[in-house]
Chains A and B, each alone.
Chain A
Amino acid sequence: MDSLIFQRGKIIKSYSGPELRAAINYSTGTNSSVKISYNRIRQYLFMLSNTIAISPTDQWKLCDYHIKPPFSDQLSVGYYQDLPLTDLNTSVEIYYKRIHNAIDFKDGAGFLTTRNFETELLQGNQSAYGIELMVKKSSEKLNGWISYAYSHSEVLITGDSPWEKINFGHPYLSNYDKPHAFSLVMNYHTNRRLSFSTNMVYSTGRPVTYPLSIYYIDGQPYVNYSLRNEYRIPDYLRIDFSINFEATLNARKIAHNYWMINIYNLTGRKNAYSVFFKSEDGKINGYKMSVFGTQIVTISWNFKLGNYASE
């Protein structure tokens, strides 16, 4: 065992490095273009997130003597095409990102009671890639967009000794891996007084480590967990709907008002905010907590001075 002693005012450790950005925009036609971009980003402050407890905890941590700053290289290529005849804008973009010094909790890490976080963290590499598609319509009667993204993000943290490896040194899905993300926003104006709008959000549930079974060794029960992030919590799907009703469109008015009825979470789906397990009477019971697990209807009445067209 040894101690390092630093005098007052001395710098213990410093990290530095360049951050580069480069972007190329090339017009392939009057209504289309290709964009290529590359950037390198360094990060000296990161968030430690334990999202598998009943109440997730987030802590912010600076890099220190033992924790090197993560940095990433990202390359993206996009093709943008406008279709003016149908008021459509479309785009497709692919990206690839590589993160070095990515940080994660090691197996068996304690979350709340440790003061020396560097003993609970390991650093490794993370890679992510994806494709994003979007179609946008901007006509007067109907406008909105549909977008879909497919992505994949995995982490590999390995080392020579078993305690330097996460998931036995095999790659595992990162905490934010969401293969499918879909969103739709649509506004429809039937006439100048009545309009409807809806939006729909869908994304695959985030990866999680589940308990699988209980087994006994020397009469003592132990929990067999799955591999790191082997399973996913239930998917997230939410549809909102709103109706906007304008008052009379007289040109000469002192004040103009409009009603809005908004239904948040139209289907009332109980999207999982967190999935947790508790040990009760020797059995393990799983629970899903959802916030806003039902429809929320809001009615609002708004008014402004002037007529309907004034700002």
Chain B
Amino acid sequence: MRVNNIILIFTLIITLSGGCIEPFRPDLDDNQQLIVINGTLTDKEGYHYINVSLSVPYESPENVPVQGCSVEVIDDTGNSIQFYESEPGLYEQWIDQEFLKTGRKYKLRVTAEDSLYESRYETLLPCPPVQDIYYEIEKKETADPEKTIHGIQFYTDLVAHNGYARNYRWELEETWEYHAEYLIRYYLQYNSRNDLGSESDSLYYCWSTNSINEIYTGTINHLTKDSLARIPLRYVSNETSRLKVRYSLFINQYSLSDTAYEYWNQLKKQHQEAGGLYEIQPQQIRGNIYNINNKDENVLGNFNVSGLSAKRVFVSERFNFFPENYDCVLYEPRFTPPSSKWPIWIIIDHWGKLLLANNQFCFDCTKSGGTTEKPYFW
């Protein structure tokens, strides 16, 4: 028995001696709270925004705005425009067209936390109009060999002859129309069946708008021709209801200098890491803003000066690659739903039977996050 005990102890020691992983927090003597100054100046008259915030330790990510800064944009002829703080950390100003001229240089000056930060002078490079935006139906394989996703992949061409910038980035915003599954006629409230009298489509038509977070960049710097074709933009799949009725993509095309393009490319590489860190060699990304009195201070963010062109495209084609959807199956309820969920939309079939749908968004399209207000451009 004593031998058995000894063997048990030895086995325990050996199993515990295998690889073990424990949480580890390195001692970072670097200041984890660095100032982040980011904003874009375009050549189009309108409101312009500069954000000032602080970076945070990586275990507790949150947006920490810096309030009470003095923010101004100065051009190379001596004009300057002061920004005012509209929300914590957000500084904005309406800028007239006569201040924004292509070929002029602009720099940002921010006084924050008793330090003066200035960016380099950036030239406002002209931006050509957005070329064709077109799409192609494409399939994508997934990890499951039997499941493929269908969708459309948007492309754009870039044509930038002499005089225009050599680097560009695109910012996309999507808007789509979608419908609920059923029109509303009857509803359940106060334990009784109520009849609207006729079918109502007040909660049937919805529109949803979403800013797309991806970074898209392109350059013609090392090409012999001044154009680049088939630059891939967004891929919209059949996994959501985006393409079921009508879809629209709004494209903002920004012109970039060579250093700004490098900056956005570095952001793009880091942004594309899905989930895991260190899939690519990590690097410190530096923008164009410096502390006047301390050149070594690492100021995060970038002051972007870009020419802007915009375009909107619509996709009205009816696609037929949507999979079977069981989100809106009708069923007969066994008991009345609680009052917290009233009014419950119901359907009464030919035999007078009460049927519910298993999700409220089957009747009320706003439950999916959209609004019944039609956008002005639709």
Please tell me the number of chain A residues within 8 Å of chain B, measured between CB atoms: 62
**Contact assessment for A216 and B63 in the assembled complex, using a CB-CB cutoff below 8 Å:** yes
Q: Which residues of A contact B23 (CB under 8 A)?
A: 285-288
**Contact assessment for A279 and B280 in the assembled complex, using a CB-CB cutoff below 8 Å:** no
Tell me which residues from 16 to 54 in chain B have a Cβ below 8 Å from any Cβ of chain A: 16-26, 28, 30, 32-34, 36, 38, 51, 53-54
Bound: A209/B54 CA distance, A: 21
Which of B54, B259, B278 has the largest count of A CB atoms less than 10 A from its CB? B278
**Contact assessment for A283 and B280 in the assembled complex, using a CB-CB cutoff below 8 Å:** no
- A211 contacts the other chain (CB 8 A): yes
Tell me which residues from 2 to 27 in chain A have a Cβ below 8 Å from any Cβ of chain B: none
Bound: A112/B25 CA distance, A: 27
Binary contact readout B311-322 vs A (1 if CB under 8 angstroms, 0 otherwise): 000000000000
- Which residue of chain A has its CB nearest to the CB of B26? A210
**Contact assessment for A222 and B285 in the assembled complex, using a CB-CB cutoff below 8 Å:** yes
- Which residue of chain A has its CB nearest to the CB of B20? A293
Bound: A279/B20 CA distance, A: 19
Bound: A287/B213 CA distance, A: 29
In the complex with contacts A162-B262, A220-B271, A215-B300 CB distance below 8 A: yes
- Which residue of chain A has its CB nearest to the CB of B28? A212
Contact of A213 among B25, B55, B271 (CB under 8 A): B55
**Contact assessment for B55 and A214 in the assembled complex, using a CB-CB cutoff below 8 Å:** yes
Bound: A290/B23 CA distance, A: 11
Please tell me the number of chain B residues within 8 Å of chain A, measured between CB atoms: 57
**Contact assessment for A218 and B16 in the assembled complex, using a CB-CB cutoff below 8 Å:** no
- A201 contacts the other chain (CB 8 A): no
Q: Which residues of A contact B25 (CB under 8 A)?
A: 286
In the complex with contacts A111-B281, A278-B277, A284-B59, A213-B19 CB distance below 8 A: no
- B286 contacts the other chain (CB 8 A): yes
**Contact assessment for B57 and A270 in the assembled complex, using a CB-CB cutoff below 8 Å:** no
Binary contact readout A257-290 vs B (1 if CB under 8 angstroms, 0 otherwise): 0000000000000101101111100111111111
Bound: A218/B54 CA distance, A: 13
Interface stretch (choices A37-45, A61-69, A184-192, A294-302): A294-302
- Which residue of chain A has its CB nearest to the CB of B282? A225
Tell me which residues from 224 to 278 in chain A have a Cβ below 8 Å from any Cβ of chain B: 224-228, 230-231, 270, 272-273, 275-278
**Contact assessment for A109 and B36 in the assembled complex, using a CB-CB cutoff below 8 Å:** no
Q: Which residues of B contact A309 (CB under 8 A)?
A: none
Q: Can you spell out 20 A-B residue pairs with CB atoms less than 8 angstroms apart?
A: A1-B224, A50-B281, A52-B278, A107-B281, A111-B281, A120-B281, A162-B259, A209-B283, A216-B63, A222-B271, A224-B284, A226-B30, A230-B30, A275-B26, A279-B275, A279-B276, A284-B59, A287-B24, A289-B21, A297-B10
Query: 3 closest pairs, A vs B, by CB?
Result: A107-B283, A288-B24, A215-B55
Binding site for A on B (CB under 8 A): 10, 13-14, 16-26, 28, 30, 32-34, 36, 38, 51, 53-61, 63, 213, 223-224, 259, 262, 266-267, 269-271, 275-286, 298, 300-301
Binding site for B on A (CB under 8 A): 1, 50, 52-53, 105-112, 120, 162-163, 168, 209-228, 230-231, 270, 272-273, 275-279, 282-297
